[in-house]
Structure 1
Amino acid sequence: MLNQIKLFFEQHLMLSAPDESSEEKLQLATVVLFLEMMHMDDKVEPKEQEIILSLIHQNFSLTVEQTTALLALAEQQRIQATDYFQFTSLINKEYSLKQKIGLIEALWKIAFVDGILDMDEEYLVRKIADLLYVPHTAFILAKNRVAG
């Protein structure tokens, strides 16, 4: 099953640009962080799943099949991961500060979608922001934009 998912992912997310693997890895790293945020409060709600699908749609031009494959692979990576560094280091190399702040806003959206900000969710956004070298002011402003 795992090999089928990987094969499907490789076949359907092929881009013509030479940096295709970099783009795919960035998408995967981003979606892993989205899924980790969804699971942070130990309650997976339909609203959280919907917002993640919406964020994937907004950030990446993927078909439904590609999105499904990306989500399956990201969930597997999330479960196997021992830390966030493997994901944040890639994002640090490729994303601008503006893109990193956009990612932090997306994480806040997932955290706030159920109307309750769990302290573990806030901790995760803070940790990811620190790993991405997002200034504390930008972190707070992103939270206020989403919460307000």
Structure 2
Amino acid sequence: MALTRRYIHHMFADFLNRLIQPQPETLPDADARLALGALLVRIARTDGEYAHEEAERIARILAARYGLDADAALDLRHRAEALEAEAPDTVRFTRAIKDAVPYEDRAAVMEALWEVVLADGIRDHEEDALMRLTASLLGINDRDSALARQRAEARMAG
């Protein structure tokens, strides 16, 4: 088991090093999925509680967004949770994603981020502040973030 943990730690360290290079290349699709999944987990953990509803919502978002079956979405979520735990501070991590992930993917993920924030039924000031910061660091303007929040609220109400 220790070898597996060491291997996983090395794999994520290598991934993060590539992500935070001064001139990162656009990430391959699998790496972009992992990075954006880790960002969903980071948002969910912001309030100090990673609720079951949030974890489930992340798996559903990953399944829908990437056309994954339940097992593949769960595996991606688990890898994203491990990456998030190893990732640098939110500012560096989010800026790295902005530099390495195409705009369309970053813009679309804002709605998913809002779904995670809203999943536990509680919206607090810390989450709102982190969402504003995250949108800015991803290069998403306030208007597009607000529209993404409204779409997420409508989907969750329906």
The TM-score with structure 1 as length reference comes to 0.75
Q: Deviations over 1:70-106 (max 9, x none)?
A: 233322221122223345433444323x432321111
Count of residue correspondences: 137
Contact 2:43 2:127 in 1 (8 A): yes
Q: Please, which moves more after superposition, 21-30 or 87-96?
A: 87-96
1:143 corresponds to which residue? 149
Q: Check whether the contact 2:59–2:74 (CA below 8 A) recurs between aligned residues.
A: no
Q: Which residue of 1 aligns with 2:23?
A: none
Which of 115, 126, 129 lines up with 2:132 in the alignment? 126
Matches within 5 A, 1:1-148: 1-2=4-5, 22-84=28-90, 85-96=92-103, 98-148=104-154
Q: Is the 8 A contact 1:100 1:132 kept in 2?
A: yes
Residue in structure 2 matched with residue 16 of structure 1 by the alignment: none
**1:117 maps to amino acid:** R
CA distance in 2, matches of 1:69, 1:116: 27
> Following the alignment from structure 1 to structure 2, what is the Cα–Cα distance between the partners of residues 93 and 82?
15
C-alpha RMSD of the superposition: 2.9
Give TM-score, length-normalised by structure 2: 0.71
Give 5+ residue unaligned stretches, structure 2: 10-26
Structure 1 stretches lacking a partner, 5+ long: 7-20
Contact 1:104 1:139 (8 Å CA) reproduced: yes
> 1:3–1:69: structure 2 CA closer, same or farther, 3 Å change rule?
farther
